[in-house]
């Protein structure tokens, strides 16, 4: 898709993206074969820079896509008991643990997962916070429907579900009417990483991925571009 559609710029972080669309300096990335992964701290730095620029009117609305190195993130309402593995286990498995300022409980980010961070001026688009989350869910549901998956919402928790299994987590922050953080869609994610947490604090639910549901790994770039187009449509006034 083009770098910008309907007033929303699409930016992708990571060494293996085209240089003209990449925000991450090569020296900040990991070396191959994991050069496409973005450490969480780097992704947060990029978000904050884009957020500040959007609030200052220096850039327009933007969606930043990343694929993170393995990390558990604790949202503002996280319960420490929902982290099941101790720090020694996390170190052995090379999983970071980060407290962050998004809403929600504990979740996982890592390889095979598409993370989208929309930096959107909600007031400028006439979108309320609840409506914004509804639209994020709608874009993911549309994307998964195009892959032949019957996904939907669940009254217990925001995000996107297939039956009793969450396939996409959503956690946001809104400051000065402008969004940060966003959604994490499990595409080819190693679901064993979720064994170390109670995902989103919901003990009686499962976690799934596109690859798990379809029985085969998916092309990450293709799914990402489909999701990007859906987000642009759903976030348009």
Name the phi and psi angles at 164, rounded to 5.
-95, 15
Name the phi and psi angles at 68, rounded to 5.
-90, 160
Q: Count Cα atoms within 13 angstroms, Cβ side, for 115.
A: 30
Residue 27's H or E segment, with its range, is none
CA dihedral sign, ordered 199, 70, 136, 57: positive
Q: Which of 15, 29, 168, 200 is catalytic?
A: 200
Is 55 marked active-site?
A: no
Structure tokens that stand for 97 in this block: 């643990």
The distance in angstroms from the start CA to the end CA of the chain is: 20
Contact 114, 210 (CB under 8 A): no
Structure tokens that stand for 66 in this block: 């990343």
Contact 15, 67 (CB under 8 A): no
Whose CA is closest to 150, among 111, 208, 236?
Answer: 208
Q: What is 80-125 written as a DSSP string? A: GGGB-S-HHHHHHTT-EEEE-SSSSSEEEE-TTEEEEEEE-BHHHH
Contact 39, 69 (CB under 8 A): yes
Mind telling me the catalytic residues? 200
């Amino acid at each position: 898709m083009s770098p910008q559609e309907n007033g929303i710029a699409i930016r992708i972080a990571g060494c293996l993206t085209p240089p003209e669309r990449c925000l991450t300096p090569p020296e900040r990335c990991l070396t191959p074969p994991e050069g496409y992964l973005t450490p969480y701290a780097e992704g947060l730095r990029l978000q904050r820079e884009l957020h500040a620029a959007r609030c200052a009117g220096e850039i327009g609305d933007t969606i930043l896509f990343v694929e993170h190195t393995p990390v558990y993130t604790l949202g503002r309402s996280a319960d420490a008991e929902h982290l099941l593995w101790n720090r020694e286990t996390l170190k052995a498995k090379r999983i970071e643990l980060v407290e962050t300022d998004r809403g929600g409980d504990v979740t996982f980010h890592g390889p095979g997962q598409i993370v989208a961070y929309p930096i959107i001026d909600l007031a400028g688009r006439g979108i309320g916070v609840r409506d914004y989350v509804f639209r994020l869910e709608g874009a993911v549901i549309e994307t998964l429907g195009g892959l032949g998956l019957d996904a939907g919402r669940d009254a217990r928790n925001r995000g996107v579900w297939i039956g009793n299994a969450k396939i996409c987590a959503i956690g946001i922050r809104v400051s000065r009417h402008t969004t940060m953080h966003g959604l994490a869609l499990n595409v080819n994610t190693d679901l064993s990483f979720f064994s170390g947490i109670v995902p989103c604090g919901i003990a009686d639910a499962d976690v799934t991925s596109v690859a798990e549901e379809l029985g085969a790994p998916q092309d990450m770039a293709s799914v990402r571009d489909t999701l990007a187009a859906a987000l642009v449509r759903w976030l348009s006034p």
